[in-house]
Structures are given as structure tokens and as C-alpha cells.
Amino acid sequence: MAAAEQHHILDLPKFEEPVKILIVVAPYYKDIADELVAGAKSTVEEAGGTWELVEVPGALEVPTAISIADKLSNFDGYVALGCVIRGETTHYETVCNDSSRALQLMGLQGICIGNGILTVENREQAVVRAESKGQNKGGGAAAAALHLIALSRKWAAPSKGVGFHADAIKLAGDTKPA
């Protein structure tokens, strides 16, 4: 059982400039969503960041909302939250796979997203994972977004002058000093 296992959790990153996060939640299972959101808010605040919250109808709309926000706003990162509980049809697989794939594709384009959309077999599993005093998957998703923001800021730092510079290359036959 996953609850009994020990996991290494990275310390939250430190930021010189404030971080602004958009939390996008699908509150289909409202009590579970509320716990996920509480964990995410707390983690963002613990890192000194600010957050804004928006609700969408379901897990499939979460990636679309993040994509729209990324194009039209100034958030540093995003937290995707919701819960999909297996039902009697294959709709579960569609929602789980498509929402996850869309978030992953945006992440591969450089958008800093923490995925906290729970995909579980039953309500009991969801409650255990969502509780902010328990597994706190909402807080974990926020931490993931914060770590990605820290990496993007680190790697976006100005160049230290390593590599070739066109103005420093002396062409053959050029008599002017470089």
C-alpha cells in the first residue's frame, strides 16, 4: 500500500522574485477538490507565492483553461487539480489519458505545471490522496509547479559569456583586431 511507503520530498525552492500561480480545479467531487485546493494554496503560500483560483466543469477542461491562461495572462506556473473515479464505462480512461496527455504536452513546451488530477478506483482512494493533512496531492502538485518555475528561472539567467561570439571571431585575411 502506497500510504505505508516512505517517499523523499524535496524542500520547496526559494525565490528572489515573487511567484504567481494559477490553480485550475475541476470540482466535480467538491469535497475532494476542496482538499486538493487547500493543500495547493498552503504550499504556494509557504513558498512566498500568490495564487489565483479558477474552476472548470471537468478534468478535460483543466488543460484548456491552463492553455488559455498561459496565452493571455502573466502566471509563472499552474496547478491542475481534480479527481476522476473509475466508473462502469471506458469514459474513465479517456478523461484520465487525455487530460494527462494535454498537461504533459504543455509541460514539454516549457509551461510549468503541477498535475494534481487524481485518477483513482474509488472514493476512498481519492479522499486519502486529497486530504491536506494526509497524502496532500494538491500540495504536491503545487510543489512540482514551484520546482519547475525555479528551474526555468535558473536556466533563463543571462549568459556568462561562454561560447562563440561573432564579434570575437577574426576572419582569415582580416587585418583588424577582433
Catalytic sites, residue numbers: 91
* Number of other residues whose CB lies within 10 A of the CB of residue 35: 25
One-letter amino acid for residue 27 of the chain: P
N- to C-terminal Cα separation, the chain: 66
Nearest CA among 77, 94, 69 for reference residue 141: 77
d(CA 141, CA 11): 14
138 contacts 130 by C-beta, under 8 angstroms: yes
Which residue(s) pair with 167 in the sheet? none
